[in-house]
Amino acid sequence: NTAEAQQELTDGFHLVIDALKLNDINTLYAVPGIPISDLCRMAQGEGLRVISFRHEQNAGNAAAIAGFLTKKPGVCVTVSAPGFLNGLTALANATTNCFPMILISGSSEREIVDLQQGDYEEMDQLAIAKPLCKAAFRVLHAQDLGIGLARAIRAACSGRPGGVYLDLPAKFFSQVMSAEEGAKSLVKVIDPAPEQIPGPAAVKRALDVLKGAKRPLIVLGKGAAYAQADEVIREFVEKTGIPFLPMSMAKGILPDTHPQSAGAARSTVLKESDVVLLVGARLNWLLSHGKGKAWGEPYSKKFIQIDIEPREMDSNVEIVAPLVGDIGSCISALLEGIDSKWPKAPSDWTGAVNAKKEANIAKMAPKLMNNASPMNYHSALGALRAVIKERPDAILVNEGANTLDLARGIIDMYQPRKRLDVGTWGVMGIGMGFAVAAAVETGKPVLAIEGDSAFGFSGMEVETICRYNLPVCIVIFNNNGIYRGTDVNPTGGPDVAPMVFVKDARYDKMMEAFGGVGVHVTTPDELKRAVSAAMDSGKPTLINAVIDPAAGTESGNIGSLNPQSVVVRK
């Protein structure tokens, strides 16, 4: 009898679902379509949470940040060729940012793809994914799915985390095998990100360098936030008394209001420190590659670096004390060498840092309290700063140019992994994907502060936010354009300038179209009231915050990266 026979069978669809569940992966971020529609349906039927998006890049960004928040790979599921390529951007971004993520894409039949005979959505996806992520695998046979997913999980989570591509051809899904054999073929990954303990000689070397410092500095990066070693990091910072500087996604590991925070004295501490301990922060462009004017050359700095990736050492400048291992283990090892006789950071140094910080904070304060209309960045962000202060467990998502740079400096964070932003690439378009996953993974209220241009890259996901009724409040800093809405077409022709959008657009109406709350505000007081109400109600809300189009600067803080023309056309 067929029913009985069927009960003893499983297939590719069910093996994927069972393997994910076995590994405690309970959420899929997806855009359904051929050949993964039924996978999404069945996954929901079997109790997984399937969050379905409007564009794969946003689903992918959601999976990536879920990985950052949970230390488990976030999983994105897409269709073949174009859907895959859309998801691949997010996978590459996850890899660049060291977030664990798995992109599962359906693909066309190998026989046809390899002979290039023109299949539906034909593309050699595995080959294309490979150079853009940490690892890429294809599963052709149902009985290999268990091992395939285990390899993907290990590759994503162990060592330096990153993105993994898993290619599943359409034929795979309907392959059947005995249910008993199928269950046996699945693998529960044990200890996917094993501790990596630093060697004792490396620990001693680091302590020796640190002990000799006159002007020490600790730089905390998003690797430190990812590691979830918050307690030992705090203990280490406080026992040594060393000023710390958080990179943007490391804000809140210790509160920005901590007496040792040097956030408001950033340029001073970079320039004047003599020994710098990097904790999960790379010396890439975001830290001026560890050299040059920003670092006070011709000073010679000594760098100690904690990182799980050995090849990160000496990537930009010499690292005199490399400490390779996971951050929890490395900081714990350092702490063992720090006894009651350990000399605290010299008080002339910490005093000078504090004086600079207090002066900068005092200089900023009045700009944050101006209630005039039109709003500028400082006055609007002053209002939002107060909102986060009252709700330290809320998650802040942030993208834009000036909207990003100024929010990063102005809005204090109080808890770890609460600030999610454009990351290593400074990429626009992460906003709604990050906001959705932050709400789904944590259940906390989310405040997404978005430049109007940045929002446009993922704006259609407001429908997703409304559909799942997520506690997300989006604030759009609407200044009518990319960077600023003030450019004019130099020819006097009918087209608007390339950086300018429709003037006085009402983004709040988009939210209303899907049943969410839309609010239009023009003063900091109105903004604060509207955001507070949204965060307290948990209702999906979009606030159109009108910002003076003349406020801010081209490209925010990174205008110097724009190449300049020296040619004057007569």
Question: Shortest gap between Cβ of 63 and ligand ADP (angstroms)?
Answer: 17
Contact of 277 with 319, CB cutoff 8 Å: no
Distance CA 233, CA 410 (A): 24
424 binds, among ligand ADP, Mg ion, none (CB under 5 to 8 A by kind): ligand ADP
222 binds, among ligand ADP, Mg ion, none (CB under 5 to 8 A by kind): ligand ADP
Of 85 and 499, the one with the shorter C-beta distance to Mg ion is: 499
Residue 259's identity, in one-letter code, is P
CA 57 to chain centre: 14
Of 143 and 315, the one with the shorter C-beta distance to ligand ADP is: 315
Give the total of residues touching Mg ion (CB under 5 A).
4
Of 229 and 436, the one with the shorter C-beta distance to ligand ADP is: 229
246 binds, among ligand ADP, Mg ion, none (CB under 5 to 8 A by kind): none
Question: Shortest gap between Cβ of 494 and ligand ADP (angstroms)?
Answer: 43
Contact of 110 with 173, CB cutoff 8 Å: no
Of 78 and 97, the one with the shorter C-beta distance to ligand ADP is: 97
Which chain residues interact with ligand ADP by CB under 6 A?
A: 97-98, 160-161, 221-223, 226-227, 247, 249-250, 280-282, 284, 286, 307-309, 312, 326-327, 424
Give the contact letters, 288-307, x = binds to Mg ion (CB under 5 A), - = no: --------------------
Of 424 and 442, the one with the shorter C-beta distance to ligand ADP is: 424
Name the closest residue to ligand ADP (Cβ): 223
Binding positions for Mg ion, 541-560, rule CB under 5 A: none
Residue 217's identity, in one-letter code, is L
Closest CA to 92 of 54, 139, 131: 131
DSSP 74-124: EEEEE-STHHHHHHHHHHHHHHHHT--EEEEEEE--HHHHHTT---TT---
Closest CA to 375 of 525, 511, 546, 519: 546
Residue 99's identity, in one-letter code, is F
DSSP 416-482: TT-EEESTTTT-SS-HHHHHHHHHHHH---EEEEEEHHHHHTTGGGHHHHHHTT--EEEEEEE-SBS
Dihedral over Cα of 58, 51, 129, 91: its sign:
positive
DSSP 128-140: HHGGGSSEEEE--
Question: Shortest gap between Cβ of 453 and Mg ion (angstroms)?
Answer: 5
Question: Shortest gap between Cβ of 416 and ligand ADP (angstroms)?
Answer: 13
Question: Shortest gap between Cβ of 277 and ligand ADP (angstroms)?
Answer: 13
Residue 256's identity, in one-letter code, is D
Under rule CB under 5 A, residue 479 binds Mg ion: yes
Question: Shortest gap between Cβ of 308 and ligand ADP (angstroms)?
Answer: 4
Of 463 and 548, the one with the shorter C-beta distance to Mg ion is: 548
Residues facing residue 136 across a β-bridge: 165
Question: Shortest gap between Cβ of 421 and ligand ADP (angstroms)?
Answer: 10
Contact of 434 with 397, CB cutoff 8 Å: yes
Question: Shortest gap between Cβ of 552 and ligand ADP (angstroms)?
Answer: 23
Of 22 and 410, the one with the shorter C-beta distance to Mg ion is: 410
Is residue 89 exposed (0-12), middle (13-18) or buried (19+ Cβ within 10 Å)? middle
452 binds, among ligand ADP, Mg ion, none (CB under 5 to 8 A by kind): Mg ion
Under rule CB under 5 A, residue 398 binds Mg ion: no
Question: Shortest gap between Cβ of 89 and Mg ion (angstroms)?
Answer: 22
308 binds, among Mg ion, ligand ADP, none (CB under 5 to 8 A by kind): ligand ADP
Residue 417's identity, in one-letter code, is R
Of 44 and 522, the one with the shorter C-beta distance to Mg ion is: 522
Under rule CB under 5 A, residue 402 binds Mg ion: no
312 binds, among Mg ion, ligand ADP, none (CB under 5 to 8 A by kind): ligand ADP
Binding positions for Mg ion, 444-463, rule CB under 5 A: 451-453
Contact of 93 with 138, CB cutoff 8 Å: no
Residues of this chain that bind Mg ion (CB under 5 A): 451-453, 479
